[in-house]
Amino acid sequence: MPEPTGRRERKKAATRQKIADAARRLFLERGYEEVGIREVAAEADVAVTTLFSHFPAKEALVFAEDAGFARRLTEAVTGRAPDTPLVPALRREVEALVRHCSSDEAAPVYHLIDTTPALRQYEAAMRQRHADALATALTGARAGSATACRALATFTVDAYALARDADEPGAALDELFAMIEAAWAAAGPGRP
């Protein structure tokens, strides 16, 4: 069973990108609610069913890169060098994510998200998934009790969201991770 490394994969990725680009363009031009799925599919020149075979829902078109989020967070835990303290590793990753959201390329999209209730709602559900994934990684690392790990995961993902909304993301991150560090210290009995 050789992994399908070839043209097929490239074509699939290209189609996905074409759809995401079309959606991004239309949503930013005219607003999320004002653009229908059938319109996005037409603009990308694919069938509606094809669109839904690449994205599970309309909202997901806006969060096309979200798969990388959970991955980066969990890898910050599983792939860290031994003796590396946990919370600073998480903080580094969250900081990078927040910075990415403020980049010139991504900022308009996040403004769209912040001003569209349906997208805010979808993002809240996404955060729960990300927190669950991170919690699994943390409990796997035997870093603390199950409850403490779940709490650390949830608080970390929240910190990302709160910092993104804050006036001064950098300062907010300082404050948030000071709180998280204290919370973790109060819970984690022993850790490298």
Q: Would you count residue 9 as binding DNA (CB under 7 A)?
A: yes
Name which of residues 52 to 91 contact DNA (CB under 7 A): 52-54, 56-59
For 52, counting Cβ atoms within 10 Å of its Cβ (0-12 exposed, 13-18 middle, 19+ buried), the class is middle
Query: Minimal distance in Å, beta carbon 11 to DNA?
Result: 5
Rounded CA separation 79/157 (Å): 18
Which of DNA, a copy of itself, none does residue 147 bind (CB under 5 to 8 Å by kind)? a copy of itself
Cβ distance 160 to 110 under 8 Å? no
Name which of residues 28 to 47 contact DNA (CB under 7 A): 35-38, 45-47
Q: Would you count residue 49 as binding DNA (CB under 7 A)?
A: yes
Binding site for a copy of itself (CB under 8 A): 120-121, 124-125, 127-128, 145-148, 150-151, 154-155, 158-159, 162, 166, 171-172, 175-176, 178-187
Q: Which is nearer to a copy of itself, 26 or 119 (CB)?
A: 119
Query: Minimal distance in Å, beta carbon 146 to DNA?
Result: 32
Reading the block at residue 46, the tokens are: 């694919």
Q: Would you count residue 48 as binding DNA (CB under 7 A)?
A: yes
Q: Would you count residue 103 as binding DNA (CB under 7 A)?
A: no
Rounded CA separation 118/122 (Å): 6
Which amino acid is residue 87, in one-letter code?
A: V
Q: Which is nearer to DNA, 4 or 190 (CB)?
A: 4
Which of a copy of itself, DNA, none does residue 11 bind (CB under 5 to 8 Å by kind)? DNA
Q: Which is nearer to a copy of itself, 42 or 126 (CB)?
A: 126
**Interacting residues toward DNA by CB under 7 A:** 2, 4, 6-9, 11-12, 15, 35-38, 45-50, 52-54, 56-59
